[in-house]
Amino acid sequence: MNLTTKYLGLTLENPLVVGASPFCDNTAVARQLQDAGASAIVMRSLFEEQIDAEQRALVYHVETSAESNAEATSYFPTFTEYQLTPDHYLRQIEHLKKSLTIPVIASLNGCRPGGWTDYAQRFQSAGADAIELNLYQLVSDPAVAGDQIEADMLETVGSVVRAVTIPVAVKLSPFHTSPANFVAELENVGAKGVVVFNRFYQPDFNIEDLEVQPQLRLSDSTELLLRLRWLAILAPSVRGSLAASGGAHTTEDIVKALLAGAHAVQLVSVLLRHGPRILSTLLVGLKDWLTERGYENIDQLRGALDLRHCPDPAAFERANYIRILQSWRV
């Protein structure tokens, strides 16, 4: 059974990619993931705010000749809260590249154009095989219109793309008004793929203490449905690669993401819950599923349920929506 897939121009042995997460902070754990069958890994993100803070700290220290170790100072208390400093991050790319044979994808996280995008070039010099740019942003200012946000994002993506020769993927939010149009614009500025989607961590309310409670809940398979819809809509028009991220937990989930048009399926929650060895179980499950149905490779399956053959996807969706609501009787 041939599970090979092309993602961002990289040839991967299978579609199972470890999504951006803390796993790659530890090279030994990254090795376990590779040994269990991961075909590529995405490192946790280095954040725009973190890079900006370091650059400000450097200027401060040059001007004042204070301590040389910016992270150790108390001027930027949040600095130490990050798991990897920018320097540490670059060294970790080098360590991972020395220890692994699978591609290492470094992750930048930010959305406003600025000097922080220079880090893309440093990622490449440290050996990263590709960059995933996470455009996570929660816009709460009523004075800022959606098209301004998207223009800034496109400028940011363009500057990252221009800084490197390795492929750049963009991890998207599901909340764009017209995702298919925005993805086309991303490809026009040089993105080689999109990751569908970012997962927003939604705080809850504690109604006894009247406090907001930030929380991180791992996903379950229900979250895949939003990804399936948009992968199926995007697949016919996207020129580059598509990765699913969010809610892939079982062999069936992986098959569904491939049917919707994904070239790669990123996994995080399932690995945090069950550990690296679940990867080999999922891979065996995928091979069995394909073999039992007579497939020889995953290209034969990919996109079979995308909306290529649907002349008007918007009307199709709207009709299904109306039919579902009308089907309930009390």
171 binds ligand FMN (CB under 6 A): yes
50 binds ligand FMN (CB under 6 A): no
Got the DSSP string for 300-315? GTTTTTSGGG-S-HHH
134 binds ligand FMN (CB under 6 A): yes
Closer to ligand FMN at the Cβ: 231 or 307? 231
Phi-psi group of 247: left, alpha or beta (phi > 0 → left; psi -120 to 50 → alpha; rest → beta): left
Q: How many CB atoms lie within 10 A of CB 99?
A: 13
Amino acid at 77: P
The only residue of 15, 19, 103, 261 in contact with ligand FMN, by rule CB under 6 A: 19
Minimum distance from residue 209 beta carbon to ligand FMN (Å): 25
Angstrom CA distances, 106 to 40, 250, 257, 261, stand at 11, 26, 23, 24
Closer to ligand FMN at the Cβ: 268 or 298? 268
Closer to ligand FMN at the Cβ: 47 or 307? 47
Closer to ligand FMN at the Cβ: 242 or 307? 242
The only residue of 5, 14, 39, 219 in contact with ligand FMN, by rule CB under 6 A: 219
Q: How many CB atoms lie within 10 A of CB 213?
A: 9
Q: How far apart are CA 23 and CA 129, in angstroms?
A: 17
Distance, first Cα to last Cα, the chain: 49
Contact 103, 40 (CB under 8 A): yes
Closer to ligand FMN at the Cβ: 138 or 325? 138
Within residues 22-41, the interface with ligand FMN by CB under 6 A covers 22
256 binds ligand FMN (CB under 6 A): no
CA-wise closest residue to 158 among 170, 149, 148, 171: 170
DSSP code, position 96: H
Closer to ligand FMN at the Cβ: 86 or 247? 247
45 binds ligand FMN (CB under 6 A): yes
44 binds ligand FMN (CB under 6 A): yes
Within residues 52-91, the interface with ligand FMN by CB under 6 A covers none
Contact 9, 257 (CB under 8 A): no
The only residue of 5, 124, 241, 245 in contact with ligand FMN, by rule CB under 6 A: 245
Contact 243, 281 (CB under 8 A): no
Question: 307: number of CA atoms within 13 Å, CB side?
Answer: 18
Q: Using DSSP, state whether 56 is helix, strand or coil.
A: helix
- Tell me which stretch binds ligand FMN (CB under 6 A): 17-25, 56-64, 185-193, 307-315: 17-25
Minimum distance from residue 21 beta carbon to ligand FMN (Å): 5
Closer to ligand FMN at the Cβ: 200 or 316? 200
The residues binding ligand FMN (CB under 6 A) are 19-22, 44-45, 107, 109, 134, 171, 199, 216, 219, 223, 245-248, 267-269, 272
